[in-house]
Structure 1
Amino acid sequence: MMRAMYSGVSGLKTHQTKMDVIGNNISNVNTVGFKASSTTFADIMYQTTSGATAATATTGGKNAMQIGLGVSTAATKVSITSPGAAQSTGDALDIRLTNGSSTNFFIVNNGTENLFTRAGSFYLDGAGNLAMTSTGYTVMGWQVDPLTGDIRKDTVSALRIMQADNMTSAPEATTKANVSGLIDKNDTNVTSDAGYVRTLSFFDNLGYSYTAKFAYKAVDTDAGTYSVELTNIYDSDNNDILAEWLDKQGVDAAGSDALDQIFGNDTTAVKSFSVSKNYTLDNSTNPASITYTENGTTYTMVTSADGAPVTVGGELGYNFTDGAGKQTFRSIADIYGIDADTAASGTLAVDTTTGMLNLTYDTTNYTLQFNTSDGTFRFIDSAGTTSVSLNMSLLGDNFEDISIDFSHLLNQNHGGSSTAEFEKGAAEKATDGTGKKLGQLTGVSIDGTGKIYGSYDNGNTVLLGQIPVAQFANASGLESLGNNCYGTTLNSGDFDGIGVEVTADGGSMTTGQLEMSNVDLSEQFTDMITTQRGFQANSRIITTSDTLLEELVNLKR
């Protein structure tokens, strides 16, 4: 009688325990990464009132007579290997773990020990650490080897994403450039003295920006021949660093002006000047004759047989006569309107046939040659060459030489308008050799393998670290510690302090999502009903036993 009552008591206790588990499951139905638990019952022990006997020649054997003494809670099992549904959040630092052949866990640290969680709601704390949103526990991971830039898979440590070294990305010097577009021979800029001016912007090793200025000029448009010369290189403060460098170099032993060391070959060019508005040119004679009128008197140039000018008082020019024997001298500069500095920059000679003044001067440039049949590029400088170097390294250790590819330049009709442009980087791959300024960190992203990348405003993407995962031989054996965290036990298996890459067994990480609780409400409510009925039935054992005892006591009456 009493045994039945105490069995009922044990039944009440175990069903209350099961109800506690169900209650905890339901209360955590919206807890990120929560894993539902289930309860397993076991009978306690039995009182043997009669042992079993063996069969004899005349009688059969007899089973033992045992009376059970109730029920106990054998185990509470966490459904840790069953994943919860995905919840989209759009937050780049929210991560959902997908399992492969093993159950994966994030590794976090509470300041004294490593713990494990499936709740991937993270944020960057005030110290720049990747941490759990709910507890502030730091996320542990692998760091980047500063020498190789690759992940170093050794003992996990706190992932401090926003440390000073990660806030900027190193600048890069420009090493390649290309020219695209076309040169139109009818473009008046190309045929002018200044030429068709284009610029190339580039960076040095320190991330400072510079602008190189070039000029395209016509040489022989019918033969498809042009030139390109470097005229200036300006820094960000508009200082011409090329001119400053040339001033320091002076003239070398070979008589070069040193510009050819930077860009181009030393050669000569000719500028032609016609007579100024005060003079009249008659090139029907040989040599050509020039006249001018002053105070109503016309003066005619006196020329020698070869038309060569004379020097009077240190000035080059011509004698003129009024026909009555009166002569006067006029300088070349006055006749052709050329200033003294320009006249001194080269050698002056008059074309006796045309009467034009030719100024032959030294220049430094490269020759561009196009195919006259279709206007495609043939070579620069010499046959077979399509690229030349802008030797910036001569201007300082902070520069790299820039290889400029002209092969995509065309010489075609565009209505008298040229479109040639210099662009940083290689023609085939624009990001190759472009160069970059110092980059500022603008964002952080995490890929499916757990690698963390920083995005910078100079276009760089830099690897900052990697989030590994922990795997256990018996994940269900982990101890729930609250705050969505688990700890190792003697039956779960140990953590080696290193972890594994999430893709090692086919798992992955998905950003912008969280793993929801795996609590199934329909299952929990069904268990709640059976638990309630079980509790109710066990209570009837006690009340019925009490009634029997009452009848036994009443026998005395």
Structure 2
Amino acid sequence: MMRSLFSGVAGLKTHQQKMDVIGNNIANVNTTAFKSTSTTFQDVMYQTMLNASGGTSTRGGVNARQIGLGVTTAANKISISTQGSSEATGDGLDLRLVDAQSTNFFIVSDGSQNLFTRAGSFYVDGNGNLAMTSTGYLVQGWQVDPETKAIKRDTVSALKVMSDTNKTSDPETTTQAKATGIIDSNDSNVTSTSGHVMSLTFYDNLGYAYTAKFAVKSGENKDAEGKLIETGSKSAKANNGFTIELESITADSQTDSEGNPIDLLEKYIQSKVSGSVTSGDRIKYTADLFGTENGKSVDSFKLDASQYTIEKDSSGNNVITRGTGANKLSISVASVTAALTASSGASTVVTLTGSGTPSSYSVQVSKLFSGLGSAAKNYVTTDDKGATTALEGLKASFDESTQSLKISTKAAAYDLFFNSSDGTFSDIDSRGADGTTLTNRGTSVKLDVSKLGDQFDKAGINIDFSTLLNYDNGGSSTAGMDRGTVADASSGAGKKIGQMTGLTIQDDGQIYASYSNGNTELLGQIPVARFANASGLESVGSNCYKTTLNSGSFDGIGVDVSSDGSKMNSGYLEMSNVDLAQEFTQMITTQRGFQANSRIITVSDTMLEELTNLKR
């Protein structure tokens, strides 16, 4: 009689435990990445009343008589490999693990040990570390090698995604620019004294922005001193010529990062590039003229709250005056242009002279009659030792010591423009009978900004004018300037200092920072942990698990989540995998089992009561 009572009590206990598990499952129906648990029962032991006996030739065998002594819980099995549904959050730091073949876990640390979780709700804490939103446990991952900028797959550590070193992205100095659009000869701006102004914003390698203003003006071809260049066939184009002048370079910010004034006076550069334009043709430049340290030229510009102007003193020298007249700087002639006309087969030597130390020269050779044959592009260079380089229909040599250029021509028409600053022929034109003009290096110029400071590229900024056209556009010019090359707007465009604008986590767990200057930088990678028996992990609360002797160990490194086809979905979380329909069904059967076991106790009690009443 007492055995039934004990069995009933055991039944009540086990069903109560199962009800506890069901209650926990239902309570966590909306818990992020919660894994439901199921309970199974097993019988406890049996009391053998009679052992089994074997049969004989005259009698059969007898089975053992046993009485069971109740029930107990066999196992609480967690459905760790069953994924929950996906919940969209829109937060880029929320991650959902999508398993392909293995069950994956994020690796976090509570400061003393590594724990594992499927709940990918993360945020960046006050120290810049990626952490669990609910607990603050630090997400562990792989760092970036500072030299190779690649992921180092070694022992995991805290992912510091925001620090003083990665809150900003390095700037890039501008090395390429271009002028595009149309110059209309009838544009009132082009024919005015101020010209059609084109602005170019560029950057140094510290991220500071500067603006250079170029003025396109109509007029005759002139040398660096403003004198008309008599160039034979060139003079016929004088009325259709254009001058592109660099008027000013100003810093967009008046102070640097430490609040100190930016003063570009001693580093200022002005360049004038003259050329001619014919209807439908592209602009051709006759020289690349740039100031040297002792050869600067400015018109008027304002910087550092002071006004600078150019003046002539009593001796005719150029003087830059700042404000009330202090800080005067003498200016010498920066460039000299000479002209030479030679007849067929003749050789002539021209000597270039000018006051001060010239920084570049423009020598023009023109035939007095039209050339024959098709137009062609040709490239010619000479070295500073006077070596001669052959050119189709043209030979030339330059003597650096005498600053003279000897040119021999044949029966073809050429305009040759020599730049002594780099020892090259900067422009070679070959004219055919149809009058078409072809240019090579004449389609681009170099803006030398190296004197503005060491923060600039010493190679300067190459400005491509090859797509700048001249034709009737209803009296309106659309010409403008921008950074980058014609083929690639981002190539050589330069960038300002970039401020971090966001974090992006890719499917493989790699973390990238986005910056305001368009840069992206790899900050680290989130690996995952995998176990031989994920169901053997022990729940420690807060959606976390720890390893046990039966789960398998963690090697401290982890694996790439994509190694088996798994991935991380950014902007999503894994929901609970609790199935309410199944839980309610289990609840009903558990309730009935509990009721039945309680009846065992009440009936046994009634029987005991009848037994005690026998003495009456």
Structure 2 equivalent of residue 469 of structure 1: 528
**8 A Cα contact 1:180 1:406, kept in partner:** yes
Give secondary structure in 2 for the equivalent of 1:489. Answer: coil
Aligned-pair CA distance for 1:486:
0.7
Structure 2 equivalent of residue 417 of structure 1: 476
- Closer, same or farther: CA 49–448 of 1 in aligned 2, 3 Å: same
Alignment of 1:77-88 (within 5 A): 77-88=77-88
Give secondary structure in 1 for the equivalent of 2:482. Answer: strand
Q: Distance in 2 between matches of 1:377 and 1:19?
A: 94
Alignment match of 2:294 (pick from 248, 265, 270): 248
Structure 2 equivalent of residue 20 of structure 1: 20
Q: Distance in 2 between matches of 1:173 and 1:188?
A: 35
Superposed CA offset, 1:24-52 (max 9, x none) = 11111222121111111111122223333
Aligned-pair CA distance for 1:420:
1.9
Q: Distance in 2 between matches of 1:421 and 1:259?
A: 30
User: What amino acid is aligned across from residue 590 of structure 2 in structure 1?
Assistant: T
Task: Confirm whether residue 208 of structure 1 aligns to residue 208 of structure 2.
Answer: yes
User: What amino acid is aligned across from residue 5 of structure 2 in structure 1?
Assistant: M
Aligned-pair CA distance for 1:164:
1.0
Structure 1 equivalent of residue 447 of structure 2: 390
- Closer, same or farther: CA 373–18 of 1 in aligned 2, 3 Å: farther
Give secondary structure in 2 for the equivalent of 1:75. Answer: strand
- Closer, same or farther: CA 375–227 of 1 in aligned 2, 3 Å: farther
Task: Confirm whether residue 505 of structure 1 aligns to residue 556 of structure 2.
Answer: no
User: What amino acid is aligned across from residue 292 of structure 2 in structure 1?
Assistant: L
Give secondary structure in 2 for the equivalent of 1:153. Answer: strand
Larger Rg: 1
Structure 2 equivalent of residue 542 of structure 1: 601
Q: Distance in 1 between matches of 2:574 and 2:433?
A: 67
Structure 2 equivalent of residue 6 of structure 1: 6
Q: Distance in 1 between matches of 2:105 and 2:13?
A: 34
Q: Distance in 1 between matches of 2:577 and 2:131?
A: 23
Structure 2 equivalent of residue 146 of structure 1: 146
- Relative contact order higher in (CA < 8 Å, ≥ 6 apart): 1
**8 A Cα contact 1:211 1:234, kept in partner:** yes
**8 A Cα contact 1:377 1:411, kept in partner:** no
TM-score normalized with structure 2 length: 0.67
User: What amino acid is aligned across from residue 47 of structure 1 in structure 2?
Assistant: Q
- Closer, same or farther: CA 371–128 of 1 in aligned 2, 3 Å: farther
**8 A Cα contact 1:229 1:366, kept in partner:** no
Structure 2 equivalent of residue 43 of structure 1: 43
Structure 2 equivalent of residue 290 of structure 1: none
**8 A Cα contact 1:260 1:266, kept in partner:** no
**8 A Cα contact 1:234 1:242, kept in partner:** no
- Report the number of matched residues: 459
Structure 1 equivalent of residue 554 of structure 2: 495
Structure 1 equivalent of residue 462 of structure 2: 403
Q: Distance in 2 between matches of 1:446 and 1:108?
A: 17
**8 A Cα contact 2:333 2:358, kept in partner:** no
- Closer, same or farther: CA 171–28 of 1 in aligned 2, 3 Å: same
**8 A Cα contact 2:269 2:449, kept in partner:** no
Alignment of 1:516-527 (within 5 A): 516-527=575-586
Q: Which runs of 5+ in 2 are unaligned?
A: 222-233, 255-262, 271-290, 296-331, 336-351, 365-418
Aligned-pair CA distance for 1:255:
5.8
Aligned-pair CA distance for 1:538:
0.9
Aligned-pair CA distance for 1:134:
1.2
- Closer, same or farther: CA 480–411 of 1 in aligned 2, 3 Å: same
**8 A Cα contact 2:85 2:576, kept in partner:** yes
Superposed CA offset, 1:226-245 (max 9, x none) = 56454543333484533496
Q: Distance in 2 between matches of 1:29 and 1:71?
A: 29
Superposed CA offset, 1:265-287 (max 9, x none) = 5358xxxxxxxxxxxxxxxxxxx
**8 A Cα contact 1:227 1:367, kept in partner:** no
Q: Distance in 1 between matches of 2:483 and 2:434?
A: 27
Q: Distance in 2 between matches of 1:405 and 1:120?
A: 51
Task: Confirm whether residue 235 of structure 1 aligns to residue 261 of structure 2.
Answer: no
Aligned-pair CA distance for 1:190:
4.5
User: What amino acid is aligned across from residue 454 of structure 1 in structure 2?
Assistant: A
TM-score normalized with structure 1 length: 0.74
User: What amino acid is aligned across from residue 25 of structure 2 in structure 1?
Assistant: N
Give secondary structure in 2 for the equivalent of 1:379. Answer: coil
**8 A Cα contact 2:95 2:120, kept in partner:** yes
Alignment of 1:303-322 (within 5 A): none
Q: CA RMSD in A?
A: 3.5
Aligned-pair CA distance for 1:387:
4.3
Q: Distance in 1 between matches of 2:436 and 2:613?
A: 123
Q: Distance in 2 between matches of 1:43 and 1:378?
A: 100
Q: Calculate percent identity across the aligned residue pairs.
A: 58
**8 A Cα contact 1:448 1:509, kept in partner:** yes
Structure 2 equivalent of residue 379 of structure 1: 439
Task: Confirm whether residue 117 of structure 1 aligns to residue 117 of structure 2.
Answer: yes
- Closer, same or farther: CA 39–490 of 1 in aligned 2, 3 Å: same
Aligned-pair CA distance for 1:15:
0.5
Q: Distance in 2 between matches of 1:374 and 1:532?
A: 103
Alignment of 1:252-263 (within 5 A): none
Give secondary structure in 2 for the equivalent of 1:165. Answer: coil
Structure 1 equivalent of residue 573 of structure 2: 514
Superposed CA offset, 1:160-193 (max 9, x none) = 2221111111111112222221222334555667
Task: Confirm whether residue 446 of structure 1 aligns to residue 492 of structure 2.
Answer: no
Q: Distance in 2 between matches of 1:100 and 1:92?
A: 22
Superposed CA offset, 1:332-377 (max 9, x none) = xxxxxxxxxxxxxxxxxxxxxxxxxxxxxx9999779899999999
Superposed CA offset, 1:211-252 (max 9, x none) = 333344565696987564545433334845334963535679
Structure 1 equivalent of residue 540 of structure 2: 481
Alignment of 1:258-407 (within 5 A): 266=362, 378-382=438-442, 386-393=443-450, 396-400=453-457, 401=459, 402-407=461-466
Q: Distance in 2 between matches of 1:482 and 1:122?
A: 17
- Closer, same or farther: CA 62–246 of 1 in aligned 2, 3 Å: same
Aligned-pair CA distance for 1:198:
2.3
Q: Which runs of 5+ in 1 are unaligned?
A: 269-361
Q: Distance in 2 between matches of 1:175 and 1:64?
A: 97
Aligned-pair CA distance for 1:528:
1.0
Give secondary structure in 2 for the equivalent of 1:547. Answer: helix
Aligned-pair CA distance for 1:547:
2.7
**8 A Cα contact 1:128 1:162, kept in partner:** yes
- Closer, same or farther: CA 372–523 of 1 in aligned 2, 3 Å: farther
Give secondary structure in 1 for the equivalent of 2:470. Answer: coil
Q: Distance in 2 between matches of 1:233 and 1:551?
A: 113
